[in-house]
Amino acid sequence: MNNLTLKIEEIQAISNGKHGDLFSVLGLQTVNVNGKEKLVLRVFRPNAKSINVLPEKGKPIELKRASEEGLFEHVFTRRKNRFPYKIKVTPYEGEVYTIEDPYRFASQISDYDLQLWGEGNHHYAHNWMGAHPKTIDGVDGTHFVVCAPSAVRVSVIGSFNNWDGRIHGMRFYPDQGIWETFIPHVTKGDLYKFEIKSHPDQAPMKKADPYARYSELRPGTASKIWTDSYSWKDSSWVDNRADIQQHDRPISIYEIHAGSWKRKVGEDPGFLSYRELADELVPYMDEMEFTHVELMPIAEHPYDPSWGYQITGYFAPTSRFGNPEDLKYFIDKCHQANIGVIVDWVPAHFTKDDHGLRRFDGTALYEHEDPRLGEHKDWGTNIFNFGRTEVKNFLISNAVYWVEEFHIDGLRVDAVASMLYLDYSREDGEWIPNEYGGRENLEAIYFLRRFNEVIHDYFPGVLTFAEESTSWQGVSRPTSSGGLGFDFKWNMGWMNDTLDYMEKDPIYRKYHQDQLSFSLIYAFSEQFILPLSHDEVVHMKQSLLSKMPGDDWQKFANLRLLYTYMFGHPGKKLLFMGDEFAQWSEWTEQYSIDWHLLQWENHKGVQHLVKDLNRIYKKESALHEVDYKWEGFEWIDISDADNSMLSFIRKGKNPDDYLVFLLNFTPTLHNQYKFGVPEACEYEVVLNSDSEFYGGSNAGPKLIRGQEGAWHSQPANITVTVPPLAGVILRPKK
DSSP 105-165: SPP---HHHHHHHHHT--TTGGGTSEEEEEEETTEEEEEEEEE-TT-SEEEEEETTTTT-T
State residue 585's pLDDT score: 96
* Closest by Cα among 340, 272, 295, 287 to 581: 287
Residue percentage of the chain with pLDDT more than 90: 89
Q: Give the catalytic positions in this structure.
A: 414, 467
Coil, strand or helix: which one is 456? helix
Asked if the model's pLDDT at residue 700 lies above 60, the reply is yes
Asked if the model's pLDDT at residue 32 lies above 90, the reply is no
| Cβ-based burial of 119 (10 A; exposed 0-12, middle 13-18, buried ≥19) | exposed
Instruction: Tell me how far the alpha carbon of residue 434 is from its chain's centroid.
Output: 28
State residue 58's pLDDT score: 86
95-150 pLDDT per residue, tens: 999 999 999 999 999 999 999 999 999 999 999 999 999 999 999 999 999 999 99
pTM: 0.95
Tell me which DSSP letter residue 625 carries.
Answer: T
Residue percentage of the chain with pLDDT more than 70: 99
Instruction: Give residue 36's pLDDT band: very low, low, confident or very high (50, 70, 90).
Output: confident
Q: How far apart are CA 256 and CA 268, in angstroms?
A: 20
Inter-CA distances, 23 with 114, 148, 156, 479, 562, Å: 19, 17, 14, 46, 66
544-573 pLDDT per residue, tens: 999 999 999 999 999 999 999 999 999 999
CB 57 within 8 A of CB 134: no
58-77 pLDDT per residue, tens: 899 999 998 888 999 999 98
| Cβ-based burial of 68 (10 A; exposed 0-12, middle 13-18, buried ≥19) | exposed
Coil, strand or helix: which one is 536? helix
Q: How far apart are CA 149 and CA 701, in angstroms?
A: 72
Number of Cα atoms under 13 Å in the Cβ half of residue 40: 23
Asked if the model's pLDDT at residue 2 lies above 60, the reply is no
Tell me which DSSP letter residue 310 carries.
Answer: S
| Mean residue pLDDT across the chain | 95
284-319 pLDDT per residue, tens: 999 999 999 999 999 999 999 999 999 999 999 999
* Closest by Cα among 353, 340, 342, 264 to 300: 353
State residue 1's pLDDT score: 44
Other C-beta atoms closer than 10 Å to the C-beta of 79 total 15
131 CB-near residues (< 8 Å, 6+ apart)? 142, 143, 144, 192, 209, 211, 212, 213, 223, 225, 226
Asked if the model's pLDDT at residue 3 lies above 60, the reply is no
367-391 pLDDT per residue, tens: 999 999 999 988 999 999 999 999 9
Q: How far apart are CA 33 and CA 52, in angstroms?
A: 21
172-183 pLDDT per residue, tens: 999 999 999 999
Q: Sort strands 488-490 and 463-466 into parallel, antiparallel or unpaired.
A: parallel
572-586 pLDDT per residue, tens: 999 999 999 999 999
Instruction: Give residue 252's pLDDT band: very low, low, confident or very high (50, 70, 90).
Output: very high
List of long-range contacts for 420-428, beta carbons under 8 Å, 24+ apart:
420/444, 420/445, 420/448, 420/468, 420/470, 420/472, 421/470, 422/373, 425/376, 425/377, 425/378, 426/372, 426/377
471-485 pLDDT per residue, tens: 999 999 999 999 999
